[in-house]
Amino acid sequence: MKKTLLIIVASFLFGGFFASCTANRGFVSSLTRADIRQVQQFEPLNYVGIIEKGNNITHSDSLTEVAKTLFEKELSRNKTLPVKGHIVIEDSLVNNKVQYEIYMLMNYLESNVKAKDIPIPPVIDSILEARNERFGLLAYNWGFTRTGGNYAGQIGKGVLIGVLTMGTMYTVPYKDMSKCGLIIVDSRYNNLAYVATTNRESNPLKAETYRKQMEDLLKKYRK
């Protein structure tokens, strides 16, 4: 299932969902910050790929591990969210299901479905209920970077297209992209309480990228 999930995530990255420096949503139910006394954090979903040929992204375990470390370090530094514990899932099959549910949540949020109409995923819900916990924190970071040669080649292609079309068409490739999100789910009311996403044309292998994105993600929570 892990391999299948990586393929799905790769297709998501180039599905037209990236925009430069955006952040949206906030509290999507009737709850406010004061209502969320504590949350249990699930393992974040992480995916980073590299583009070496054309626009084809290839998942990289080593790059994903670097990004995962940077993202989770920044997440742990936050003092805004009332994280009181971490949910560790020993069963790999159950953990894969949770990771897939996080992916599906973000897929729904990137579509036209309203966040208030999205229910809490069943496996995540059952895990929270089994621990007698109401709120769960879901987080993810996805991104890619290009090799220097690939980026230069794609720029060259864009210039050539511009020349051939007399300047009516010109393509500028993204060199890097980082997409992050935070979701607080409510197992009592079976819905989402808080949603925040941020996309930046920034290197997903640099700590500064996640410092800025965490500010984006928590901006509306702090209001």
Of 76, 185, 75, whose CA–CA distance to 133 is shortest? 185
Q: How confident is the model over 45-101, as pLDDT tens digits?
A: 999 998 888 778 889 999 999 999 999 999 999 889 999 999 999 999 999 999 999
What is the predicted pLDDT for the residue at 5? 53
What is the predicted pLDDT for the residue at 54? 78
- Tell whether the model's pLDDT for residue 11 goes beyond 80: no
Q: Which residues pair with 105 in a beta bridge?
A: none
**pLDDT band at residue 166, thresholds of 50, 70 and 90?**
low
Mean pLDDT, all residues of the chain = 84
Q: Could you tell me the residue ranges of all domains in the chain?
A: 2-218
Q: Which residues contact 220 (CB under 8 A, 6 or more apart)?
A: 25, 26, 27, 196
- Tell whether the model's pLDDT for residue 146 goes beyond 60: yes
Question: Which own/partner pairs from 101-107 qualify as long-range (CB within 8 Å, at least 24 positions apart)?
Answer: 102/42, 102/45, 102/138, 102/140, 102/183, 103/5, 103/8, 103/9, 103/12, 103/45, 103/140, 105/138, 105/183, 105/192, 106/12, 106/140, 106/181, 106/183, 106/197, 107/12
Q: Is 45 helix (H, G, I), strand (E, B) or coil?
A: strand
Scan for tokens 């892990």, then name that residue. Answer: 2
Q: Is 29 helix (H, G, I), strand (E, B) or coil?
A: coil
Surface-to-core class of residue 74, CB atoms within 10 Å of its CB (0-12 exposed, 13-18 middle, 19+ buried): buried
Q: How confident is the model over 113-135, as pLDDT tens digits?
A: 788 889 999 999 999 999 999 99
What is the predicted pLDDT for the residue at 218? 94
Q: Is 85 helix (H, G, I), strand (E, B) or coil?
A: strand
Q: Which of 16-20, 97-101, 157-161 has the lowest mean pLDDT?
A: 16-20
- Tell whether the model's pLDDT for residue 16 goes beyond 80: no
Instruction: Please give the full DSSP string across 183-213, using - where no structure is assigned.
Output: EEEETTTTEEEEEEEEEESS-TTSHHHHHHH
Scan for tokens 């720029």, then name that residue. Answer: 155
Q: How confident is the model over 171-202, as pLDDT tens digits?
A: 556 789 999 999 999 999 999 999 999 999 99
What is the predicted pLDDT for the residue at 155? 53
Q: How confident is the model over 27-36, as pLDDT tens digits?
A: 999 999 999 9
**pLDDT band at residue 108, thresholds of 50, 70 and 90?**
confident
Between residues 200 and 148, which one has the greater pLDDT?
200
Between residues 153 and 110, which one has the greater pLDDT?
110
